[in-house]
Amino acid sequence: MNQNSGQVVAIIQARMGSTRLPGKVMMDLGGKPLLTQMMERVQRAKSLSEVVIATTVQPADQVLVDLCEKNHWRYFRGDEEDVLGRYHDAAHFFQADFVVRVTSDCPLMDPQLIDSVVEAMIRRQREVDLVVLRETFPRGLAIEAMPIDLLDRLNRLCTDPREREHVTSMIRRQPHLFAVHRIFNDDDLYSYRWTVDTAEDLKFVRLIYNHFGHNDFSWKQVLTLVRDHPDWCEINHPAVQKSIQKHD
C-alpha cells in the first residue's frame, strides 16, 4: 500500500446476541474462539494499518471486551441496534481515512481478497464511494471498503432505524446516489455458503479448520477442498440467507 494512502482500518463488527446462533463468535473453531480465528486471518492483510473490533455496550458483550484485552486487540463499544453509528464512531475513534468493513461471522475471510479490495479503493478513491466484493464469491467473503467521508455522509443521511441497523443498506436502496465499484470473480460461486449463521454453518466451517489444522489457508484452497468433498456442502445447504443481516 502507498505510504501516503492514509490510515486503513478494518472494523469487525461483533456481538454475542446473534438472533440465529447466539454467542457464535465465542464458539470453538479449531481450538480457538471463532472471532480469534477470524481476527488472525484479517490481520494478515498487508494493506491494513489496523484491525479493530466494534462491539456493543450490552453487558453480554463484556466477554468480547475481555477477549480483546487478553489478545491486546483494540476495540470500540457502541449502540447495539445503531450499527451505522457504531461503525462511524469507531472509525473516527481510530482516526481512519479508509474503512474496511468485514463481519464477525466470516472465519474463512481471505486477507489477499481484502488487499485487492483496498487496492481498488485507493486507486479509485476520487471516482467511487464504495468498493465491494460480493455477488460471485462464496457467501462469507463479503468485503466493503470506503473512505471515511462515505461513513460521514451515511451517518447524516440515514434517519430510518432500519437503515442504520445495516450500515450500507441505503446504498443498495438508493444506488443512484452513490458510485459503487464491484469486484467480480470469473466464476459465479455464490451458491457456496461459507458464512456462520446457524449450527450447520459452524459444523461445515469446523470441517475446513480441522482439515488444515491451522488458519493460514486461502479461499482458493478451501474451494478446492469443498469441491473434493461435495458432501460437506450439503451440511449447511438448506440454510436460508436472510436478505439483510447485521452479521454480528
Whole-number pLDDT of residue 191: 93
Q: What is the pLDDT of residue 231?
A: 95
pLDDT of residue 216: 97
**The pLDDT of residue 215 is above 60:** yes
Determine the pLDDT at residue 162: 86
pLDDT confidence of 187, banded at 50, 70, 90?
very high
> 116 pLDDT exceeds 60?
yes
Q: What angle do CA 178, 180, 185 make, to 5 degrees?
A: 160
The alpha carbons of the chain give a radius of gyration, in whole angstroms, of 17
Residue 247 has pLDDT above 90, yes or no: no
Phi/psi of residue 230, nearest 5 degrees: -60, -25
The pLDDT of residue 243:
46
3-state SS track over the chain: CCHHHCCEEEEEECCCCCCCCCCHHHCEECCEEHHHHHHHHHCCCCCCCEEEEEEECCHHHHHHHHHHHHHCCCEEEECCCCHHHHHHHHHHHCCCCEEEEEECCCCCCCHHHHHHHHHHHHHCCCCCCEEEECCCCCECCCEEEEEHHHHHHHHHHCCCHHHHCCCCHHHHHCHHHCCEEEECCCCCCCCCECCCCCHHHHHHHHHHHHHHCCCCCCHHHHHHHHHHCHHHHCCCCCCCCCCCCCCC
What is the residue whose three cell numbers read 441505503?
170
Give residue 225's pLDDT. Answer: 98
Which pLDDT value is given to residue 78? 96
pLDDT number for residue 18: 84
pLDDT in tens, 70-92: 999 999 999 999 999 999 999 99
Phi-psi region of 213 (alpha: psi -120 to 50; beta: other; left: phi over 0): left
pLDDT score, position 248: 63
Give the Cα separation of 130 and 79 in Å (integer).
24
Q: Is the pLDDT of residue 53 over 90?
A: yes
pLDDT of amino acid 240? 55
User: In the chain, what are the domains?
Assistant: 3-233 (3.90.550.10)
Summarize pLDDT for 138-168 with one digit per residue, the tens: 999 999 999 999 999 999 999 988 888 888 8
